[in-house]
Structure 1
């Protein structure tokens, strides 16, 4: 099954070596399917996802946050671009899943 939308998220880690401290940035995809959202090693049934929101300051390539509002709490992911396609596709699914909890 092909995802309805894909959005790139970023993970930032600090690594400390013998003589240096470095920031390592890796990326991964958040995948929206008709029945679930998959992120790295987690999967959320779409009926448990209440909303998706974000906050992004695009000045100077700053990072923003994507908030996945679930029945189990809010999951936060770093992003660098606006997730407009992801949110648009989620809103299309929302009417049919809104009250199926």
Structure 2
């Protein structure tokens, strides 16, 4: 593995006894290898990945975009993924 970057999946649960909503963050990682990218939900060969970008929406959350031939996949991040993108640029297939 060359690099890994954390992302979160927010899920909402309802406490039916106390009638309260609560939000739970599950942390996962985007893992960059020399020939693939693996997330909790997907595995991408680098041959189909043609770009990465991100937009921080606040000081707490932002969106990381993985541009592939199968569409754009979005991941919610809490940290700037600039180093992940820099590492991808070194191994990307052009």
* TM-score, normalized by the shorter chain, greater than 0.5: yes
1:12-31 to 2 correspondence within 5 Å? 12-18=10-16, 19-31=19-31
- The alignment's TM-score, normalised by the length of structure 2, stands at 0.92
2:76 equivalent among 75, 78, 83: 78
Q: Detail structure 1 runs of 4+ shifted over 3 Å in the superposition.
A: none
Query: Matched residue of 2:87: which SS?
Result: helix
Distance between the aligned counterparts of 2:86 and 2:58, measured in 1? 20
Structure 1 unaligned blocks of 5 or more: none
TM-score, normalised to structure 1's length? 0.86
- Residue 43 of structure 1 pairs with residue 16 of structure 2: no
Distance (whole Å) between structure 1 residues aligned to residue 91 and residue 76 of structure 2: 23
Structure with greater proportional helix content: 1
Q: Which structure has more strand as a fraction of its residues?
A: 2
